[in-house]
Structures are given as structure tokens and as C-alpha cells.
Amino acid sequence: MPNNNPLPNKERMKILRQHMPERPADVRNHDFLEVNLGFQSELAKQEALRCIACAKPTCMHECPVGVKVREFIDLILAGDYLGAAAKIREDNVLPAVTGRVCPQEEQCEGGCVLGKKGDSLAIGHLERFVADYEQKSGKLGLPAIAPPTGKKVAIVGSGPAGLTCAGDLIQKGHRVRVFEALHELGGVLVYGIPEFRLPKDIVRQEIDNMRKMGVEFETDVVVGKTVTIDELMQEEGYDAVFVATGAGLPQFLNVPGEHLNGVYSANEFLTRNNLMRAYRFPEFDEPVYDCRDRNVIVVGSGNTAMDAVRTSKRLGAKSATIVYRRTEAEMPARLEEVKHAKEEGIVFTMLTAPVEFIGDEKGWLRQARCQKMELGEPDASGRRRPVPIKGSEYLMDCDLAIIAVGTSANPLIQSTTPDLATNKWKYIQADPNTQRTSKPGVFAGGDIVTGGATVILAMGAGRRAAASVHQYLTTGVWETSIPAAETTTHS
Amino acid sequence: MFKILSTRQLATGIKQFVIEAPRISHKYQPGQFVILRLYDRGERIPLTIKAVDPQAGTITICVQSVGKTTHLLNLLEPGDSLLDVVGPLGKPSEIKNFGTVAIIAGSVGTAMAIPTTKALKQAGNHVIFIEGARRQDLVVLEDEIRAISDEPYILTDDGSYLEKGLVTHKLLQLLDSGRKIDFVLAVGPIPMMRAVADITKTRGIRTVVSLNSIMVDGTGMCGGCRVLVGNHSQFACVDGPEFEADQVNFDVLVQRNSMYRDAEHKSLDDFLANPERELALVRESCKLRELEEHAAVVPGGPHAK
């Protein structure tokens, strides 16, 4: 493999990790513009010099879609940024997205050898740099498309799993149509992740790229309601279907007072702001709770919770607080999000759980009754279980409470596709290697199979599904490890 | 996009639209609704489907001007399009032979109740239909009601047309005269549905109401439409919109529906100050979408014709 790094390894390891420029915290927490500003080419080259080009690149193995990290870094060193972007695109159709939202510390950068002694290589920042460079240049390195196979694939959901699968399958020459329930394409990238973390123009651009590759899109179709899987296959002639509908229904705490005005699911709060642009009301029609001079709490500590709390701050909240029943060490959010949140003035109240919401006479939330917790023995997840401390209840003032404690399976497709086997939580069962379900010709992946996870894990599933769909369409052989639905339901 | 094929003014501020929506027309069952959006800055609002014609690939909706979006929608004419229409959403009405059913509808609720009424009639029920409107000029679809029910009653609050009184008066009158009613469906303003529920609960008559809580996506994803039914949280968009009336907590429904009242008033006032501007935005959005849909087919691509 070529090596464009002029420095010996020793010298490379002396260079410190380059810091991504970002907008000042006390400015950015008043608007929705992107927080991170991205590397310029000087910074990118300097950072790329740190790569020691391991013979066995663990970074690549830790990537759910297997991006050839070492090779794209080398292309950066050669000054061939478009080549670097094209190299990433071989494995990842959404580099500008993943460069921004992947939990790199747990994946590529988590595997980076440099991280053992110092700071790992800023692979995410570099990926973002080349992807943005490519978009700005307008010279998109779109992959070649194989001649038409005459096969048709329907993809249900235009989130990261669906888009990845579509991007891979279109290259194989299949006809691909993506169905989306909402009016805008992108799934969680559009309704879930805020503008300040992932500008919607980036998502739109990536979707335009896929259109250029020939992927068809149809919005306003709720598969399971507007059309069923069986109708897609029997009446509309699809040879295979990939179900990637995402996680679905928001979970609430099931404590008294959750119907008060001012209690939201994170899904609703974020959807109003991100998909419907409520933060620009009245220029946009959809309203959202007026956070100005209000006390806001967000219950939970994942990326969704961070997105919600930082959104409320930007909407003018007097105080914006994360309330979490464990401690900071157990928080599942990306490190960068927690860091950014703290810089922006978010308060973190740990070892605390609301047990009741209390409203005024008109039904508007005013306080949360909270309980202090302590950590007990580890539970099934390996994390120490929070245990309530007796007599520790106290009242916390809050006008808006956003519940971000996860989601459960949306049953729309499963309930109209009886031969699609589900597990006891109603998620669709799919083989972890082939993404094949119990139903011939039907594949599934992403959060509808695993429950709430990350963008890149969903993309990994989309990638495996595409390979498996292609194999099925070219061989006609259907084999799956998932038993038929009847057996599962009656067992 | 979803073309408007024809429109008809049903009453003051209430308009009927026939819209091209083949997928929805094929899957629809009585009781289901759509969510629509008019332009790229528009909100999403749910509206019950009044009728479908699967052969023509059309759906019919009836719209009462209440807030900004419904006012704006009612300015549209044949030749215009709706940017987004998604559905059919929600669970279908329960249709079976109950015996004697009473359908109680307020104003535009009449349009929403018609498909379920037809289906109940077809299932062999004796159908009593009580439509109430505030004034004569708000009475809708009288001919249709007369055609699909065995006992139509039309009342106005002020007596300006036919019988004077509230729908609940008529219901009580029938019950007090000894009429046996086996099932009631109430569709309309919340106070009306609540009053019906109060009457039928004490008499042990099974009653279903169609709830109009505030929705965003309509697929169960946001939970904004949650209602308290039998002390359990239910999502009107996927678990409803119809629920057992005696289980519904109407206080919570009223309270939650008031959540955005200030914003709704502001939107409407801004709109009424310059409706033409918004109408132009709607038409522009549709034009852009049309261009996008045309551009989507890549010459020489795997699906070029």
C-alpha cells in the first residue's frame, strides 16, 4: 500500500491531536447553527500525519461498515481529498453524516493504537473534513452502477439503515425504491438529530447524491397502513423488501402527572423542532413549548437526552438540566455531546429520578417530585443498578419535562405482516449476519431489530442486508436462521 | 403530490375536497384519517376521511376553517395540490350489528361520521342519526344523512332551521320515550361528546367517541396525541382515534388540546392579515415538489423507462 507520510513513526507520535474549531459556547447556545466548524486542510493534514499506518488497522475492524481508514488517511496526506472521500464512499454512503454523529470513541478511534498511550487519531474529524470538501467541490465521486438486473427492491424507511442499503443495492444494478412515512427523507437524521449537530442540508445533499445514483424515493407512505409488505411483493412486483423503520414508540416513566401540559417525549420535542422547525415559529407553523425563562428538565442521558436539553437551552430556557438516575460514568451519550452540553451551561443532576409530576390548576407542569438514588449491584446490562434512597424525595421546579428514556418497537408493520417473526419485545427477528427475517424475501435491520442504537450500527445492518439481498436476488436461494413466525408465537 | 380534483362548499366555512390519493383510497376503512401538510413551512394536521373511491383513486375530506391550516386549505381550488397527504391512519371503526345505533354528530363531525354510519347500516343496524349545528348555515350534508339513516334528526342550537335544541336533548328525548339504543357513536366538539358520554354511561349504553387530540407524525412515534383512557396512556393516532367514551378522561383531553392556544391564535391572526401571501407559498411549494418528482428519474439509470 502507498505511504504518503514523510515522517518516521516516532515523529508522528509527537504531534498532538488537533482540536476541531467550534463556535463559542455562549454564542452557540442561543442559536441552531452548527457547533463544530470542521478542520481546514492545514489542520487535517497535520492530524493525518499522526497516523502510524498500522499493519493490522484495528480502526477499520472497529468500524461497523469497515471504512478503510488507513487508506483514506493516506490519500489525505497525498492531498487527494476527493480520492479520500471516494475511498470512504466505497463502504459508507453517508460520510458527512457519520463524521458528525458516530460515537467514534467506541469505534474507529476506540480501536486506534495511538489511544493506548495518548489521544487517538481524530478519524471522525478527518472523515467529516473530506466529506465536506467533496460536497463543497461539487465533484462527487459517485461509485459506478452495474448494468440493470431487472430486480426490484423496496426499502422501508429512509433513515441510516435504509439509505445505506439503498446506496449499496443501486450499485449492483437493482431497481431500488425507498418508502418514507414522513414528508421529509432522512428518518432520525432529520426528525431526531438537531440542526446544530447535523445540519439538514448535509442530509439533503447525501439524499440528492443517492437520487443521482438512481435511487427512487416515495414520501408519505406508512408501510403497514398505506400499503403492506405483501402488497409490495405480490401486487407491486418487488422481489425483496428491507424493513428499516427505526425504533418507534416513545417510552414514558409511567409516573403520575405525565399528561400535564409541559411533559413531552423527547421524540415529540425533537420532531417538532427538527422535522417541523418549530424553533422558527411563527415563520414555520408548528409550535413548540415556549421555553423562554422556564426551567426545563430532561430525564435520561443518551444522545437523545443531550439533543433535547441543548435544544431547550437554545429556545431560551432559564435552566436546562439533565436528570439521570445513575452517574456520569454510566451515561450512554457520546463524550463530545456531554462536553458540549456542559460548556453550554447544561446542569447535570445525577442519581436522581422523578417519581411524580405536579401541575397547577390549569394542568401546566410546575414541579417534579424527585427521588435520590444510589448505585447498587450491577444488573443484567453490567451497569450498577440505581436504588432509591428512602426518605430522599424533594421537589424540583420545572415547567417543561422531556422524557428521553428510550423507545419500544412500533408494531405497524409486524401487525399487518403475520408471518414476520418478532421477539418478546415485538422487535423484528433478523439474522445478525444476513438480516434475513422469517419471511422469504424480507430483510430487516437497524433499530426495528436491535432496539434503539446508533446511526452507524444501523448503517452496518443496512450494508449486511444489501449484500444478503443481492445474494438472494442473484442465486434465488432463501435460507434464514429465523424460525417461522407461527413457531415463535406459540412457543 | 395530491391533486385536488373538485371542491364543494358545504356550509359557511366548511368545504369538501376530492383529492387524488390512490394508495390511501385502496386501503381505507371507515373511521380512519389522514395527516396533511400544505407547504414547506406548514404544520401537519389530522383530518378524518369522509369517503373514498378506490376505482377513481380518490379520497374525500371535509374541512372546517378553525385554525391557520384549515383556513388556508379552504382557499384551495381544483387544480391546486396538497403537498403531503399520508394515511389511512388510525384503527378502523368497529362495525357489527349492534341492533339500534345512534350516531351523534356536531357540524363537521357529521362528515366524519358518515362512512362509519354507512357501514353500520350495511351491517344491518337500525340507524338513528342526530346532527346538531349552531345555526342553519352550519348544517351540512343533510341529503346524505337522510339517505343513509333510518331516523335522521337535524337540530340547530338557535332554532334557525328545523328543530331547535342540542343533540343531547334529542338523545334524552328518545331514551326517555323508551327507545332502546344499543350503541352510540359521538363525533364532534369535546363538550358535546362528553355530554353524550354522561348520558349514556348512566344508562349503560356502549358509546364510542372519536378523539381529536393534537398530532404530529400520526404513526405513534411522538406520543404527543396521548390521551388518558381508563387511566392508561393511549396514543390517539395508533390506538384510536375511537375510544370507549366511559373510559375517556375528557378533562385531560381539553387541557392538552389547549396547549398551543396562544401560538394557534398568533398563526391565525398573522395569516388572516395576508392570506394571499401564504396561498402563494403553498402553490410555490407544490411547484417545487413537482419539479423534484420529475427530476427524480435519471436518464440511463437502472429504472429509466
pLDDT at B299 over 60: no
N residues, chain B: 305
Query: How sure is the predictor about B90, in pLDDT bands with cuts at 50, 70 and 90?
Result: very high
- Residue B61 shares a structural domain with residue B139: no
Last residue of a domain, one of B90, B115, B133: B90
Residue ranges covered by each domain of chain A: 9-137, 152-248+409-475, 251-407
Q: Is A285 within 8 Å of B255 when comparing Cβ atoms?
A: no
Candidate from B84, B258, B297 with C-beta closest to A220: B84
- Residue B252 shares a structural domain with residue B170: yes
Instruction: Report the percent of chain A where pLDDT is more than 70.
Output: 98
Q: Is A287 within 8 Å of B260 when comparing Cβ atoms?
A: yes
- Quote the minimal CA–CA distance from A220 to chain B in Å: 5
pLDDT at A489 over 50: no
Asked if the domains at A152-248+409-475 and A251-407 fall in one CATH topology, the answer is yes
Instruction: Report the percent of chain B where pLDDT is more than 70.
Output: 97
* Inter-chain contacts counted by CB atoms under 8 A, chains A and B: 146
In this structure, CATH architecture of domain A9-137: Orthogonal Bundle (1.10)
Asked if residue B279 belongs to a domain, the reply is: no
Q: What is the per-residue pLDDT across A365-414, written as a single tens digit (0 to 9) for each?
A: 999 999 999 999 888 878 889 999 999 999 999 999 999 999 999 888 98
- Residue B181 shares a structural domain with residue B37: no
The residues in A 291-320 lying below 8 A from B, measured between CB atoms, are none
Question: φ and ψ at A402, to 5 degrees?
Answer: -115, 125
Strand partners, A152: A175
Residues of B in contact with A226 (CB under 8 A): 23-24, 27, 86-88
Q: What is the per-residue pLDDT across A30-42, written as a single tens digit (0 to 9) for each?
A: 999 999 999 999 9
Over residues A429-456, mean pLDDT: 94
pLDDT at B202 over 90: yes
Q: How far apart are CA A52 and CA A57, in angstroms?
A: 10
- Quote the minimal CA–CA distance from B16 to chain A in Å: 22
- Residue B82 shares a structural domain with residue B122: no
- Residue B74 shares a structural domain with residue B217: no
Q: What is the ipTM of this complex?
A: 0.93
Asked if residue B144 belongs to a domain, the reply is: yes
- Quote the minimal CA–CA distance from A9 to chain B in Å: 47
- Residue B121 shares a structural domain with residue B250: yes
For an interface test with A, which of B222, B254, B267 has the most A Cβ atoms less than 10 Å from its Cβ?
B222
- Quote the minimal CA–CA distance from B222 to chain A in Å: 4
Query: For residue B47, what is the domain's CATH number?
Result: 2.40.30.10
Q: Is A214 within 8 Å of B27 when comparing Cβ atoms?
A: no
- Residue B78 shares a structural domain with residue B13: yes
Asked if residue B263 belongs to a domain, the reply is: no
User: Among candidates A408, B146, B54, B72, which has minimal Cα distance to B63?
Assistant: B72
Total count of domains within chain B:
2
- Residue B127 shares a structural domain with residue B228: yes
Last residue of a domain, one of B21, B55, B90: B90
The residues in A 187-246 lying below 8 A from B, measured between CB atoms, are 191, 211-214, 216-217, 219-222, 225-227, 246
Domain spanning A251-407 has what CATH number?
Answer: 3.50.50.60
- Quote the minimal CA–CA distance from A260 to chain B in Å: 7
Asked if residue B95 belongs to a domain, the reply is: no
Structural contact between residues B238 and B90, judged by C-beta atoms closer than 8 angstroms: yes
- Residue B118 shares a structural domain with residue B9: no
Query: For residue B135, what is the domain's CATH number?
Result: 3.40.50.80
- Residue B68 shares a structural domain with residue B106: no
Q: Is A267 within 8 Å of B295 when comparing Cβ atoms?
A: no
Q: Where are the beta strands (DSSP E) in B188-291?
A: 206-210, 226-229, 232-235, 242-244
Candidate from A211, A249, A284 with C-beta closest to B296: A211
User: Is the pLDDT higher at A491 or at A213?
Assistant: A213
pLDDT at A480 over 60: yes
Q: Is A211 within 8 Å of B263 when comparing Cβ atoms?
A: no
**Host domain of residue B120:** 100-257
Q: Is B217 within 8 Å of A264 when comparing Cβ atoms?
A: no
- DSSP codes, B124-144: T-EEEEEEEESSGGG---HHH
- Residue B239 shares a structural domain with residue B104: yes
User: Among candidates B278, B71, B39, B266, which has minimal Cα distance to A287?
Assistant: B266
- Residue that is written with C-alpha cell 401546566 in the block: A364
Asked if residue B21 belongs to a domain, the reply is: yes
Predicted pLDDT of residue A491: 36
For B166, the grid coordinates are 342540542
Q: Is A264 within 8 Å of B224 when comparing Cβ atoms?
A: yes
Asked if residue B201 belongs to a domain, the reply is: yes
Candidate from B37, B238, B303 with C-beta closest to A183: B37
Q: Is A118 on the interface with B (CB under 8 A)?
A: no
Predicted pLDDT of residue B206: 97
**Cβ atoms within 10 Å, residue B119:** 19
Last residue of a domain, one of B65, B90, B115: B90
Q: Is A250 within 8 Å of B222 when comparing Cβ atoms?
A: yes
Strand partners, B206: B183
Predicted pLDDT of residue B117: 97
- Residue B55 shares a structural domain with residue B129: no
Residues of A in contact with B303 (CB under 8 A): 148, 175, 214, 216
Query: How sure is the predictor about B292, in pLDDT bands with cuts at 50, 70 and 90?
Result: confident
pLDDT at B302 over 60: no
In this structure, CATH architecture of domain A152-248+409-475: 3-Layer(bba) Sandwich (3.50)
- Residue that is written with C-alpha cell 487535517 in the block: A44
Asked if residue B133 belongs to a domain, the reply is: yes
Q: Is A221 within 8 Å of B84 when comparing Cβ atoms?
A: no
- Quote the minimal CA–CA distance from A192 to chain B in Å: 11
Tell me how many helices (H) and strands (E) chain A has.
20, 16
Q: What is the DSSP letter of A144?
A: P
Q: What is the per-residue pLDDT across B214-268, written as a single tens digit (0 to 9) for each?
A: 999 999 999 999 999 998 999 999 999 999 999 999 999 999 999 999 999 999 9
Strands A295-299, A319-323: pairing is parallel
pLDDT at B277 over 60: yes
Q: What is the per-residue pLDDT across A221-252, written as a single tens digit (0 to 9) for each?
A: 999 999 999 999 999 999 999 999 997 899 99
- Quote the minimal CA–CA distance from B113 to chain A in Å: 21
Q: How far apart are CA B117 and CA B99, in angstroms?
A: 13
Asked if residue B303 belongs to a domain, the reply is: no
Q: Is A268 within 8 Å of B266 when comparing Cβ atoms?
A: no
pLDDT at B300 over 80: no
The residues in A 126-155 lying below 8 A from B, measured between CB atoms, are 145, 148-149
- Quote the minimal CA–CA distance from A490 to chain B in Å: 25
Q: Is B221 within 8 Å of A412 when comparing Cβ atoms?
A: no
Q: How far apart are CA A421 and CA A429, in angstroms?
A: 6
